[in-house]
Amino acid sequence: MGNDALRCRRGTVSIGAIAIIAVFMIAVSCFALLIVEYDRYLYVVKVSTQKLLLRGRENLSVERLETSKLKVINKGSVTSFVVGIFVRSGSDIQYIPLDTPINVKILSEREIVLPDGITEEMDVSVITAYGNVFWAAESP
């Protein structure tokens, strides 16, 4: 009878040790997942902050040359990418996306040809990849 009681204790100790090891492994894996998710969070915050800083450094001057042309001058300290045009006629605003973004480098200018159907009475603006909108002023 002594051996049976001893065998039972060894089995209980083995099962207990396995249970403790399993709980420890689960805790370590949960902690590792928390570290990975926190690292992802920090990366998203970093990228968002960089985009906000770039957006604030963007400064474009837009002039309407003719009925069908805009001149975009980059006065900011970051390269801008014009991705679309807003056209306002009264209270109606229409967004016209560009096929390919127009790269306006620092201290340079580019001309944009407007689509057909835009008259001189309509207000025109450009929208950049950073989300800024710059309205056109009439050319002197």
Paired tokens of 86: 């807003």
Domain ranges, residue 7: 1-57
Any idea what the CATH number is for the domain that residue 64 is in? 2.60.40.3970
Which domain-ending residue is among 57, 78, 102? 57
Q: What is the CB-side half-sphere exposure of residue 32 using CA atoms within 13 A?
A: 6
Whether 15 has a pLDDT exceeding 70, the answer reads yes
- Return d(Cα 87, Cα 85) in angstroms, integer: 7
Q: How many domains does the chain have?
A: 2
Give the pLDDT confidence of 82-122 residue by residue, as tens digits. 999 999 988 888 999 999 999 999 999 999 988 888 888 88
Mean pLDDT of the chain: 87
Domain identity same for 52 and 8: yes
The Cα angle at residue 78 between residues 70 and 136, in degrees rounded to 5: 20
What is the reported pLDDT for 10?
Answer: 56
The Cα angle at residue 135 between residues 112 and 71, in degrees rounded to 5: 30
- Return d(Cα 4, Cα 33) in angstroms, integer: 44
> At 37, is the secondary structure helix, strand, or coil?
helix
